[in-house]
Each structure stands twice: as C-alpha cells, then as structure tokens.
C-alpha cells in the first residue's frame, strides 16, 4: 500500500469548513483513498472513501486530484465535536490489501 | 443496531498471566482484524482473518494468539510472552477484503499491567 503524508495538526473555527490535505504521490491505479477519524479513547470512525472521482456523503466531501497524488477531506461546517485525529489511508484490493495502514494522522482542533 | 462489540473496555493483567479480549460483530462481515495502538501513534496490525477457521499474522503477532471458530467472533489472547502488552486494542471487521468496502472498528479495550 502507498504511503501517505499528512500535516501533524490543524486548527479550524467552529462553523467554518475544515480542509484536511493528504499526499499520496506513490498511489497505484488500483488503490483507493480512505478517511477515518478517531476521537480520544474511541475506535476509528469511517468517514468516506474514493478511487478517482470526488465523493460526498452526510459527513464530508472527498476531493481527489486528477493525477490522484493528493486528496482533501472537507468538513463543510466544522463543530466542536469534529475535534479528532483524522487518518488518510491508501489501500489496494489485491491480496496485499487486507490491512489498513494507519500513520500518525492530522490532529484537528475546532475552536469556538 | 449492527456493530462491533469489544469487551471489556478496561482490563488489567498481572505479570505472567494470559488474558483474552473479546470481539463480536453482527454485521455479517467475512473479515476481522486486531490492531494495537500505543499512545500518540497509529495502528499496527496484529492478526487478521478472512474467513472462519483461517487467520494470518500481521506485523506484530509475537506474543499474541487468535481463533476464529465462528464468523461473528474473533477473540485475541495476549500471552505472557508479550513483554509490553500495555496498549489500546482495537478490533475491526469488513466484508471480503477483496472489495472496496471499509473496515469498521469497535471502541477498543485498554489493557494495563498491574
């Protein structure tokens, strides 16, 4: 699975959009981009995933660049409860893709 | 509600003692996984199972054992051979790992040594 690079931490004002970047420059054609978040002392929560098209669900939007080397998770109206560590993961569907590789992620602080 | 249940939430182990962490899912998922998380770090894969009666070692399997006798259950035993067992343990499940469907996680068990 390709490696990802994320900023260590970010701040966002409550009610504003939070844009969390992820670099995955070595991504392969069969690898999907997944986003999870983890609130302290809880298990990671799945947010969204995509291959090459932009995706949107009730939680967030995922924007993947045309060359697929980077992506951005957008929380359109951040709330205090969105304060968490956000993980960007790249995973393939071949036989090596059984595990989800979590790095250190981005610690998002939403401030009132 | 469908989901993954891990128990207990907190567990204390004496030196030289084996302990078993429970993980049950009612999502009808084929695959199940165990991860370990140390403070301030990401997750590391201990064991995974794609199907009943089958499992494979992950990156840090030494000192751990698992079984998969039922589709719904994937218990993890932390043996006395694991010299640094204090950590947050997370169980996850997913449909067949050969699909693009994500893994879903339980709320973890925090293991400490007395």
Render pLDDT for B66-75 as a digit per residue (tens, 0 to 9).
999 999 999 9
What is the structure's pLDDT at A80? Answer: 96
- CA-CA distance, B6 to B25, in Å (whole number)? 9
Distances (CA, A) of B15 to B48, B77, B81: 26, 14, 10
- A-chain residues within 8 Å CB-CB of B97? 93, 97-98
- CA-CA distance, B50 to B14, in Å (whole number)? 32
Which chain B residue shows the shortest CA-CA distance from A33? Answer: B100
- In terms of phi and psi (left: phi > 0; alpha: psi -120 to 50; beta: otherwise), the region of A14 is beta
**C-beta atoms of B100 and A42 within 8 A:** no
* β-strand partners of B76: B21, B66
What is the structure's pLDDT at B76? Answer: 98
Band of pLDDT at residue A99, cut at 50, 70 and 90: low
Each residue's pLDDT tens digit, A22-76: 999 988 888 899 999 999 889 999 999 999 989 999 999 999 999 999 999 999 9
Look at the block and give the residue holding tokens 């695959």. Answer: B31
Peptide bond into B8 cis (omega under 30): yes
């Amino acid at each position: 699975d390709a490696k990802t690079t994320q900023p260590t931490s970010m701040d966002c004002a409550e009610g504003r959009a939070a844009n969390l970047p992820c670099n995955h420059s070595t991504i392969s054609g069969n690898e999907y981009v997944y986003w999870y978040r983890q609130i302290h002392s809880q298990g990671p929560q799945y947010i969204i995933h995509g291959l090459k098209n932009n995706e949107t669900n009730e939680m967030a939007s995922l924007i993947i660049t045309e060359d697929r080397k980077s992506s951005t998770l957008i929380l359109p109206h951040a709330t205090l409860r969105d304060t968490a560590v956000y993980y960007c993961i790249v995973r393939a569907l071949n036989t090596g893709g059984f595990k989800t590789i979590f790095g250190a992620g981005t610690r998002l602080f939403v401030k009132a | 509600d469908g989901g993954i249940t891990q128990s207990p939430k907190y567990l204390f182990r004496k030196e030289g003692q084996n302990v078993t962490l429970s993980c049950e899912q009612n999502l009808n998922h084929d695959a199940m996984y165990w991860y370990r998380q140390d403070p301030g770090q990401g997750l590391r894969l201990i064991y995974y199972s794609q199907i009943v009666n089958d499992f494979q070692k992950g990156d840090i399997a030494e000192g751990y054992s698992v079984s998969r006798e039922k589709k719904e259950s994937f218990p993890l035993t932390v043996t006395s051979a694991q010299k640094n067992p204090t950590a947050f343990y997370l169980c996850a499940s997913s449909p067949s790992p050969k699909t693009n469907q994500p893994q879903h996680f339980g709320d973890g068990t925090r293991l400490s040594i007395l």
